Structure 1
Amino acid sequence: MFPGSEIYGGFAGTWDWGPLGTELRRNVVNEWTEAMQSHDNMAFLDSSIFTAAKVWEASGHISGFSDPMVVCSHCHTKFRADHLLDAMGVVADEKMTEKQINAIFDEHRTKLHCPVCGKKDFGKVVAKSLLVTSTLGRFEDEDEEVYLRGETAQGIFINYKNVLGSGMYSIPFGIAQVGKAFRNEISPRQFLFRKREFEQMEMQYFVSPKEAPEAYEEWRKERMAYYNRLGVKKEKLRWKQHENLVF
């Protein structure tokens, strides 16, 4: 792996895959794709990266897909407010409203030091959208935003009717996709685990409501067996029930 734009000083949150990394990534994608192709009722999709704003309005991303950002008033470095609080042992859910997280931040403001300059001089916490905007086909005096997709799942959902109407599939069936997604991360970190451009491999499976519980259990078993076949130890895997959705 090489830092993105390295010869010109680098560009935070971006990485270039080198020769060995490219082959490793290809092997991972091929393994996952073959696992999906083993199911007769699986369709594959390659949806557009550029997406109309209405798609993200309907999904709730524009209004709720954000991280709490705070800026040091002294050195002007941007931080995730929940990360600063977490570092001092204070739990702050990133899904909290601006009002809720500001109340917690204000309670501990006198103890919070900037990791860069050491000052205790932070502004107000604001919700920063994670969607990456584009000026594709726009002029400065136009208001409509164009977005790079924040996840590949939305391309699957908006093409559900198209795939079903192609006459090749009927419920129950799945739609799988591998492709780039983009997020305007406030503070990229943890090497490849928190960056602004990344590859996603997603599959959405569509069933009738009455068949959902049985299909869910079947896919749980299938996916666990998949990771076991790859050599991942069972004790390293666990199921997590999400109490809060992304937004």
Structure 2
Amino acid sequence: MAQQEDLLKKIIAHAKEYGFVFPSSDIYDGLSAVYDYGPNGVELKKNIRNYWWKAMVQMHENIVGLDAAIFMHPTVWKASGHVDAFSDPLIDNKDSKKRYRADVLVEDYLAKIEAKINKEVTKARKRFGDSFDEQQFLETNPRVVANRRKMEEIKNRLYPAMDRSDMAGIKQLIEDLGIADPVSGSKNWTDVRQFNLMFSTQMGSTADGASEIYLRPETAQGIFVNYLNVQKTSRMKIPFGIAQTGKAFRNEIVARQFIFRMREFEQMEMQFFVRPGTEMEWYKLWKEKRMKWHISTGIPAEKFRFHDHDKLAHYANAAADIEFEFPMGFKELEGIHSRTNFDLSAHEKYSGRKLRYFDSEIDESYVPYVIETSIGLDRMFLAILSNAYTEEELEGGTQRV
């Protein structure tokens, strides 16, 4: 852990020294979890964005681009579920005064158990060589079986509690597992509380006459509310996609790890509209295509892995992350989700407008299902910077980065 933190600190220092990333408002001692891109950083960021756009839009005849506004009608966020449900369960340690996402504390605990299992598998593979049967080992080794059972028991408590917004249940799980504050080692926790992550502001000429609107917490909804405009004007036939890059804003209470988690960040998203019943086929295809894109950047394949979700968002029937081995371990880089027809159906309900597609091949009208690919541009920037960061030992004991 200490080595990982030291490496991240070196990357942060290098990024500032060589004009990649600066703390925002640096002469005023910065602003927490907000960063500016310097001369070299802005060029690298542009190259990543252009590489994604070329692969996603210019190389596909059935995917077109969009640039939706940051400000949107407030009912958009009511329909999408963000007003009522876009929140994180947070917990404070009374001794260190540090604040954490309660679910992430438990998931980090699960990751440690998983690491123990992987270590056992690696040792057994070396011992048995070509005759090693990994599946049989996972099902019969006593330590592995016990750890897998423990993971399942934890998940069966965590995710139902999350679904029920059972904050007391999540705290009890943290206490039962003996999870300590990573900073102080203290187990003196506050109660778990929910915090909404959306930034709100006022639109209007006077305070009394102003209406409350939000800075968008994701770019996806701009695509969904423009689905009909794009489909009709571009004469798109299903299956087709709409891609967009742009800023999003989240009031991350626990924002840390440099540009990995920020309050203002940039997303590169594509929503792919498909016929209901075919979504799982397209979901698998886009998982493969997105992994190939990441490897095409020149980063070694072993730096990436898939993580299939155990707990699905309310709108999804399948979801997976492409994780990258950052200096702080494997973390989410891109999400691929089968969003069903939740978003378009919700916007139909709240707007009163029909968002259906008439499929002449089957002579049927329906609300399309959606496959989403969503990648954080800032996280991709950090992945490339982390992979490129190398320290060389020179003659005389000196070191060069």
Coarse TM-score class (shorter-chain normalised):
0.7 to 0.9
**Secondary structure of the corresponding residue to residue 205 of structure 1:** strand
Deviations 1:109-129 (A, max 9, x none): 99866958x79473x322101
Q: Which residue among 171, 174, 177 is the counterpart of 1:105? A: 171
Q: Which amino acid counterpart does residue 59 of structure 2 have in structure 1? A: S
**Secondary structure of the corresponding residue to residue 225 of structure 1:** helix
Contact 2:161–2:170 at 8 Å: present in 1 too?
no
- 2:213 alignment partner in structure 1: 146
Q: Which residue among 267, 287, 302 is the counterpart of 1:220? A: 287
**Secondary structure of the corresponding residue to residue 251 of structure 2:** coil
Is residue 96 from structure 1 mapped to residue 146 from structure 2 by the alignment?
Answer: no
- 1-side partners of 2:55 and 2:75: how far apart? 33
Contact 2:198–2:217 at 8 Å: present in 1 too?
yes
- 2-side partners of 1:241 and 1:86: how far apart? 14
- 2-side partners of 1:205 and 1:115: how far apart? 42
Q: Once the 2 structures are TM-superposed, how far is the Cα of residue 223 of structure 1 from its aligned partner?
A: 2.2
Equivalences for residues 158-173 of structure 1 within 5 A: 158-173=225-240
- 1:242 alignment partner in structure 2: 309
- 1:204 alignment partner in structure 2: 271
Q: Which residue among 31, 54, 79 is the counterpart of 1:11? A: 31
Deviations 1:11-35 (A, max 9, x none): 1110000111111101100100110
Q: Which amino acid counterpart does residue 32 of structure 1 have in structure 2? A: W
Deviations 1:30-51 (A, max 9, x none): 1001101100111100001112
Q: Return 107-116 or 14-23, whichever deviates more.
A: 107-116
- 1-side partners of 2:240 and 2:260: how far apart? 31
Q: Return 157-166 or 143-152, whichever deviates more.
A: 143-152
- 1-side partners of 2:267 and 2:61: how far apart? 22
Q: Return 100-109 or 52-61, whichever deviates more.
A: 100-109
- 1:69 alignment partner in structure 2: 90
- 2-side partners of 1:119 and 1:59: how far apart? 37
- 2-side partners of 1:166 and 1:216: how far apart? 26
- 2-side partners of 1:237 and 1:147: how far apart? 34
Q: Once the 2 structures are TM-superposed, how far is the Cα of residue 216 of structure 1 from its aligned partner?
A: 3.2
Q: Which amino acid counterpart does residue 60 of structure 1 have in structure 2? A: G
Higher relative contact order (CA 8 A, sep 6+): 1
Task: Provide closer, same or farther for how the CA distance between residues 95 and 5 of structure 1 changes in structure 2, counting only shifts above 3 A.
Answer: farther
**Secondary structure of the corresponding residue to residue 145 of structure 1:** strand
Task: Provide closer, same or farther for how the CA distance between residues 210 and 12 of structure 1 changes in structure 2, counting only shifts above 3 A.
Answer: same
TM-score when normalising by structure 1: 0.83
* Consecutive unaligned residues in structure 2, runs of 5 or more: 1-20, 111-153, 315-401
- 1-side partners of 2:203 and 2:46: how far apart? 30
Contact 2:90–2:192 at 8 Å: present in 1 too?
yes
Task: Provide closer, same or farther for how the CA distance between residues 243 and 113 of structure 1 changes in structure 2, counting only shifts above 3 A.
Answer: closer
TM-score when normalising by structure 2: 0.53
Task: Provide closer, same or farther for how the CA distance between residues 111 and 225 of structure 1 changes in structure 2, counting only shifts above 3 A.
Answer: closer
Percent of matched pairs sharing the same residue: 42
- 1-side partners of 2:234 and 2:33: how far apart? 42
- 2:22 alignment partner in structure 1: 2
Q: Once the 2 structures are TM-superposed, how far is the Cα of residue 9 of structure 1 from its aligned partner?
A: 2.2
Aligned Cα root-mean-square deviation (Å): 3.3
Q: Once the 2 structures are TM-superposed, how far is the Cα of residue 100 of structure 1 from its aligned partner?
A: 2.3
Q: Which amino acid counterpart does residue 27 of structure 2 have in structure 1? A: I
Task: Provide closer, same or farther for how the CA distance between residues 82 and 209 of structure 1 changes in structure 2, counting only shifts above 3 A.
Answer: closer
Number of residue pairs matched by the alignment: 246
Q: Once the 2 structures are TM-superposed, how far is the Cα of residue 76 of structure 1 from its aligned partner?
A: 7.1
User: Max radius of gyration: which structure?
Assistant: 2
Q: Once the 2 structures are TM-superposed, how far is the Cα of residue 176 of structure 1 from its aligned partner?
A: 0.3
Task: Provide closer, same or farther for how the CA distance between residues 168 and 97 of structure 1 changes in structure 2, counting only shifts above 3 A.
Answer: closer
- 1:42 alignment partner in structure 2: 63
Q: Which amino acid counterpart does residue 201 of structure 1 have in structure 2? A: M
Task: Provide closer, same or farther for how the CA distance between residues 73 and 224 of structure 1 changes in structure 2, counting only shifts above 3 A.
Answer: closer
Q: Once the 2 structures are TM-superposed, how far is the Cα of residue 140 of structure 1 from its aligned partner?
A: 4.2
- 2-side partners of 1:17 and 1:76: how far apart? 30
Equivalences for residues 176-215 of structure 1 within 5 A: 176-215=243-282
Q: Which amino acid counterpart does residue 252 of structure 2 have in structure 1? A: E
